[in-house]
């Protein structure tokens, strides 16, 4: 794989069982590149290793007054120089290629996993850790992959020098052969402590990054409540903790580097002192002493790669562990994933017009109808929305099979039959669409059938036209979706802030994450984008939580009209939205507690009334709010809208 061939057509399926296994999997995927780098490295380091012997031969030729042999040595030195230069250039080229291609493979794997998990990713892994993995950790993993071939080539040259000295100058060769392994192994006892300090530094850096991203994301709110300085002070403290940890880590690596300089220096002094004694005794020639001295001096260069590979592995191992942890996440539980892997034929998509049924809560959303869901627990609502889209979270096991098998009133016979046959099995599906388990479908198919808009949708930077350039059925125009989501004022705001010459609001640019817009404006644009896709089933989690009541009433009418005949599920507690729904389902303590219309449930269900009207215990004891007053308020808002 060359850099020009990136990105990979298919980055493959990684071995994410551990960080070490993941590094090994990356290495196996780059055997060709590693072999190329190793060959060029061996050429380069062989030239470096041969240089001292050539110098020794030259000195002997001068001492023996043999000009012809000196010319041959000169030619040999020229060839060695060419080998060193060409080998070094190509080694750098191939090693960096290995680095970049490995980093690109990891980034593609992370991007694919992010697309697969969607918003569920940051619910399972901290946002700061995701940022750290996709930036710094990717580089560290690539660094280790790149350093492997250079280390092996350096190891080859060290062995070559030691073996050569044993033949060229046996007395000095024995000293070097004993000293070099001691030098290479001396830093090993310090590596665990250095690694731990580096891990602490990275952990603190990840927390500081997460704190910074949270602060920036909520800067507008923080300024509004006067909490900006408080969070900035927290970030300063976190930043200082990172600095202190980095200094502690650097001290340990500096000690290792000092050992790598001190011990080779001591070996060089020993060789010179012992070699001078041998020369004075006439046991070796001057050229042999020069060759041995040059060889030891030359060894300092390849020995640095021993320290580099130790540092690269120490830094990349926890990085690979974090990457493997992210890549090991699945949109479904492990049992269901194993069942899908063992299945020979893919599950077929359900026929259009099927009911949406959640086995864990008993929620039924009939096909073609507008269903509103009320949950007293916002976290439960978020998990339910993810599950309805075929992306079940890592939750506790579902309730017992009997409770799961109880279909709510009005459940169709095929759905009830499917529940009875599947609820008791291990790794059972959690949501059915037309009797087919969503989490067993291919990811693209599941997302085509069911679209989930969470309560904090993201707007990417670009023009409004690019924002609406999403996979869609083509049945809903952008103008109709914008009108249903009540985005007229948003279009005016974008047009006013656009540069001169922009006349169509669809060509106006949206800043990163839509930060130039208010929360309600971002929410309505995201709703319009979801309406444009026109999926078979649309799941909206609190789609109007940031808009005023009059706008909310108009949005409820617009969505109901635009989605007529299509299955729509809205998780909300706003009376305005609930009053527009064909049917309302109350989820209490994880199961369906009541089903009906909004006004019927207000009259008959105290638990529903407590969630929707924020009724207190005292008000419930006294009989609750006057329902006629509530109905009058709803009617008044409808008329004013």
Q: How far apart are CA 255 and CA 251, in angstroms?
A: 6
Where does the pLDDT of residue 415 fall: very low under 50, low under 70, confident under 90, or very high at 90 and above?
very low
Beta-strand pair 537-541/567-571: parallel
Give the number of other CB atoms < 10 A from CB of residue 627. 13
Q: How far apart are CA 44 and CA 91, in angstroms?
A: 8
pLDDT at site 208: 81
Helix, strand, or coil (residue 588)? strand
Q: Is the dihedral of CA 171, 174, 176, 179 positive or negative?
A: negative
CB 48 within 8 A of CB 157: yes
Q: Is the pTM of this model over 0.95?
A: no
pLDDT at site 162: 84
Cβ-based burial of 90 (10 A; exposed 0-12, middle 13-18, buried ≥19):
middle
pLDDT at site 342: 52
Q: What backbone phi and psi angles, to 5 degrees, belong to 487? A: -105, 20
Give me the residues paired with residue 381 across strands: none
Express each pLDDT in 318-362 by its tens digit: 888 888 888 888 765 544 454 555 555 667 888 888 899 999 899
Express each pLDDT in 166-197 by its tens digit: 887 888 888 888 888 888 888 888 888 888 88
Cβ-based burial of 224 (10 A; exposed 0-12, middle 13-18, buried ≥19):
exposed
DSSP 8-state assignment for residue 17? S
Express each pLDDT in 358-377 by its tens digit: 998 999 999 999 999 999 88
Q: How far apart are CA 370 and CA 32, in angstroms?
A: 57
Where does the pLDDT of residue 217 fall: very low under 50, low under 70, confident under 90, or very high at 90 and above?
low
pLDDT at site 594: 94
CB 143 within 8 A of CB 309: no
């Amino acid at each position: 794989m060359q850099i020009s061939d990136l990105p990979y057509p298919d980055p493959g399926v990684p071995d994410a069982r551990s960080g070490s296994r993941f590094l090994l999997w990356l290495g196996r995927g780059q055997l060709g590149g590693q072999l190329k780098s190793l060959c060029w490295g061996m050429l380069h380091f062989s030239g470096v290793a041969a240089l001292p012997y050539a110098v020794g031969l030259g000195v002997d030729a001068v001492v023996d007054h043999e000009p012809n042999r000196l010319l041959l040595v000169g030619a040999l030195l020229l060839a060695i120089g060419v080998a060193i230069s060409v080998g070094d250039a190509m080694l750098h080229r191939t090693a960096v290629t290995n680095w970049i291609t490995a980093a690109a493979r990891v980034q593609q794997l992370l991007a694919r996993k992010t697309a697969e998990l969607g918003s569920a990713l940051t619910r399972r892994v901290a946002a700061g850790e995701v940022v750290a993995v996709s930036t710094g950790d990717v580089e560290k993993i690539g660094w280790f992959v790149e350093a492997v071939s250079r280390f092996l080539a350096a190891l080859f040259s060290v062995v070559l020098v030691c073996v050569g000295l044993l033949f060229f100058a046996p007395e000095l060769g024995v000293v070097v052969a004993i000293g070099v392994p001691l030098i290479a192994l001396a830093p090993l006892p310090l590596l665990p402590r250095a690694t731990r300090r580096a891990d602490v530094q990275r952990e603190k850096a990840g927390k500081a990054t997460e704190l910074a991203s949270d602060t920036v994301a909520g800067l507008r709110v923080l300024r509004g409540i006067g909490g900006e300085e408080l969070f900035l002070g927290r970030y300063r403290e976190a930043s200082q903790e990172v600095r202190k940890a980095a200094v502690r880590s650097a001290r340990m690596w500096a000690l290792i580097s000092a050992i790598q300089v001190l011990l080779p220096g001591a070996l060089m002094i020993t060789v010179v002192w012992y070699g001078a004694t041998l020369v004075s005794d006439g046991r070796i020639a001057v050229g042999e002493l020069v060759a041995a001295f040059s060889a030891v001096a030359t060894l300092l260069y390849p020995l640095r790669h021993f320290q580099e590979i130790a540092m690269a592995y120490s830094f990349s191992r926890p990085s690979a562990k974090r990457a493997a942890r992210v890549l090991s996440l699945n949109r479904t539980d492990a049992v269901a994933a194993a069942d899908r892997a063992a299945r020979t034929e893919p599950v077929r998509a359900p026929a259009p017009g099927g009911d949406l049924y959640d086995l864990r809560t008993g929620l039924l959303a009939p096909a073609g109808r507008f269903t509103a869901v009320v949950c007293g627990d916002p976290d439960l609502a978020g998990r339910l929305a993810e599950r309805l889209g075929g992306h079940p979270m890592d939750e506790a096991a579902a309730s017992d099979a009997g409770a799961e098998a109880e279909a709510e009133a009005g459940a169709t016979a095929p759905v009830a039959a499917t529940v009875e046959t599947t609820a008791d099995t291990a790794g059972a599906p959690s949501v059915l669409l037309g009797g087919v388990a969503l989490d067993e479908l291919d990811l693209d198919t599941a997302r085509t059938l069911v679209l989930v808009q969470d309560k904090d949708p993201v707007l990417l930077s670009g023009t409004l036209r690019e924002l609406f350039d999403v996979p869609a059925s083509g049945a809903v125009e952008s103008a109709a979706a914008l009108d249903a989501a009540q985005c007229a004022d948003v279009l005016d705001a974008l047009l006013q802030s656009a540069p001169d010459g922009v006349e169509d609001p669809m060509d106006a640019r949206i800043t990163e994450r839509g930060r130039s817009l208010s929360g309600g404006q971002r929410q309505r644009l995201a709703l319009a984008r979801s309406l444009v896709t026109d999926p078979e089933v649309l799941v909206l989690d609190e789609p109007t939580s940031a808009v005023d009541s009059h706008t909310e009433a108009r949005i409820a009418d617009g969505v109901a009209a635009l989605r007529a005949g299509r299955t729509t599920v809205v998780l909300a507690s706003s009376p305005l939205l609930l009053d527009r729904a064909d049917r309302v389902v109350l989820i209490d303590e994880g199961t369906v507690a009541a089903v009906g219309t909004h006004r019927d449930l207000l009259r008959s269900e105290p638990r529903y009334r407590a969630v929707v009207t924020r009724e207190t215990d005292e008000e419930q004891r006294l009989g609750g709010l006057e329902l006629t007053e509530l109905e009058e308020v709803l009617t008044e808002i409808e008329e004013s809208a």
